Amino acid sequence: MSGGVLKGRGLMKGTAKGKALLSEKAFTFAHGVDPSSGDVTDVRSDIRGSNVKGSVLFYPFGKGSTTASAWFLETVRNGNHPAAIVTEGVDLSAVIGSVMAGVIYGKEVPVISGVPRSAYLAIRQGEVVSVDGESGEVTRKK
Amino acid sequence: MLHLDASQERLLRGEGGEAKQFAMEIVAKVGDAVGADSLVPIKSAHILAHYSSLHDAGVDVLERFASSGGKFAVPTSVDPASIDLENWESFGIPEEYARQQFRLCDAYARLGGMRCWTCVQYQVCNFPRKGETVAWAESSAVVFANSVLGVRSNKITAGMDVACAVLGMTPRFGMLDDENRVAKVAFKVALDSFSDLDFRSVGFFMGRRAASRVPVLLGLPGDVTTDQLKHLGAAAAAAGPVTMIHFPGVTPGTKTLADATGGLEVEEIEVTRSDLESVESDLDQTAETPDLVALGVPHLSINELGEVAKMLEGRKLKRGVRMYVYTSSQAYDMAERTGIRESIERSGARISHSTDAEISPLKKLGFDVVMTNSAKMAEIVSSEGEIKMRYCSQKEIIERVTG
């Protein structure tokens, strides 16, 4: 597949474009991403060592501590946040973090859920994709 | 589709002030995302306000709520802080770090919260009745509420917790609905005896294997204590998305396996000694000597402090290792009055209150290897990869680090 659209459910509005950063495993910002750099530090993550800044971050589910929304928000405060988040199941931490980011810092991050892992893994790591949080669409370039 | 009634709509438009508008924006978005149909009133809230997780952004959020006139609409308690709020200097906490924690404390106080700073609010100051709905953060407390108290709560995420507390409402979804409280998997423990570590390891094993299914747990001793259930639930919630465990004979409304499952057949998983040993080897990551021993994640009760004091009697901490025992301010005060604090500290250990090790700046304080009997702490702290965790029973810990 060299183009095409993945359709999910838009949870947080806004549009974004960035390099795809794809995790196959449950993901958390809490103790999992260093907010001061955007580096993925979770020893159990398959994308440990990658950086989330400006990426379109894909993961199947959230996991772990209910503080993840705060870690995500700190990542936004430092400007090291992903351009958008796309998940399979709803990750409340991403939604709450994004609402707070909108109100406090004027930077809502588009969030889409309902895109199965099996579908997004067709995308190549680092491939540029665009995201529309209103329509819930992830679009691959030709 | 989330339906807001007329008065809720007015709050969303800002007619109830800026704080309630911000709160309603968060709650409505989340309600929509999780497929809730309505918002329902809550009897109490429990929020997070520790700097290690909330960071500077969390200070911004809490101060925004406080400075825009927000007040908690229901009795609200708060999780431990990232520092001992009275003795932080003597624990070596940098002043800049303490200052940010105190900004969170001040904003929380301005919002009108109970200044309990504990993760066991249900043993201290927050006492909902069976069947009531609450909005609590702190996964271990949420498991305790649903499983032991028969209170209904979802695991409320940071930011959402404050929003629910300010509104006195939460979206109706998940554990608030009867159908989601039915057990879908049964665990049967077959052990001759249970050490303190076993309760935690059983919880951890179950948390890993249950995934998003509500479990029912059979085979616990008939005289299991609320403290043991507290640690079991905390371990389960740290290992997976568990928010409720049916304990037949303990959980209100659940006397038997069939009560838990609604009479339906579910997968049954045996929990054997070798399963617990594999949890132990998973969480006990090194053979290195610890430079810190941490007991009390979640906070120890006054009874548990008494047990620690007894085990430490006549012993002295070895050189090169520190031992911190974490508890609520209230249990600390009781320990002070009854001589328990003195007898623990005579060994060279220290009691710390209003904080706990998992949310302390351990690396900043120079610790590299930490030993605990908390599966929750071992799991969470080790995920960052900076500190190596040792996981052993309280008896083994005390034998190893004291003489």
Question: What is the pLDDT of chain A when averaged over all its residues?
Answer: 94
Backbone φ/ψ region at A89: left (φ over 0), alpha (ψ -120 to 50), beta? beta
Task: Assign B248 to helix, strand or coil.
Answer: coil
* Candidates A43, A69, A86, A134, partner chain B, best to mutate (most B CBs within 10 A): A69
Task: With beta carbons under 8 A apart, name residues in chain A contacting B138.
Answer: 66
What is the DSSP pairing of strand A128-132 with strand A137-140?
antiparallel
What is the DSSP pairing of strand B350-353 with strand A137-140?
unpaired
Residue ranges of chain B that CATH labels 3.30.499.10: 284-401
B284-401 CATH choice from 3.30.499.10, 3.40.50.300, 3.40.1380.10, 3.60.110.10: 3.30.499.10
Task: With beta carbons under 8 A apart, name residues in chain A contacting B160.
Answer: 69, 92, 96
Contact B274, B370 (CB under 8 A): no
Q: Taking 80 as the threshold, does the pLDDT of residue B164 lie above it?
A: yes
Task: With beta carbons under 8 A apart, name residues in chain B contacting A95.
Answer: 29-30, 33
Q: Taking 80 as the threshold, does the pLDDT of residue B266 lie above it?
A: yes
**What was the pLDDT predicted at A1?**
47
Q: Taking 60 as the threshold, does the pLDDT of residue B349 lie above it?
A: yes
The DSSP secondary-structure symbol of B223 reads T
Average pLDDT over residues B201-210: 96
Question: Closest chain A residue to B381 measured between Cα atoms?
Answer: A31
pLDDT band at A142 (very low <50, low <70, confident <90, very high): low
Measured distance CA(B123)–CA(B119) in Å, rounded: 9
Measured distance CA(A15)–CA(A38) in Å, rounded: 20
Average pLDDT over residues B300-315: 98
**What was the pLDDT predicted at B288?**
95
Cβ–Cβ contact B24 with A under 8 A = no
Average pLDDT over residues B37-41: 98
pLDDT band at B240 (very low <50, low <70, confident <90, very high): confident
Q: Taking 90 as the threshold, does the pLDDT of residue A64 lie above it?
A: no
Cβ–Cβ contact B65 with A under 8 A = no
Residue-wise pLDDT for B114-147, tens only, equals 999 999 999 999 999 999 999 999 999 999 999 9
Q: Taking 60 as the threshold, does the pLDDT of residue B323 lie above it?
A: yes
We find that the CATH architecture of domain B6-177 is 2-Layer Sandwich (3.30)
Q: Taking 70 as the threshold, does the pLDDT of residue B98 lie above it?
A: yes
Q: With the C-alpha atoms ordered A73, A79, A83, A88, is the resulting torsion angle positive or negative?
A: negative
- Closest CA of chain A from B178, distance in Å: 21
Positions of A marked catalytic? 65
Average pLDDT over residues B12-39: 95
Average pLDDT over residues B311-329: 96
Alpha carbon separation from B31 to A34, B13, B42, B167 (Å, rounded): 29, 17, 15, 14
Complex ipTM value: 0.93
pLDDT band at A2 (very low <50, low <70, confident <90, very high): very low
Q: Which domains does chain A have, with CATH numbers?
A: 4-140 (3.50.30.10)
Nearest to B383 among A32, A71, A96 (CB): A32
- Closest CA of chain A from B270, distance in Å: 25
Task: With beta carbons under 8 A apart, name residues in chain A contacting B30.
Answer: 92, 95-96, 99
Average pLDDT over residues B364-388: 92
Q: Taking 90 as the threshold, does the pLDDT of residue B383 lie above it?
A: no
Residue-wise pLDDT for A112-134, tens only, equals 999 999 999 999 999 999 999 99
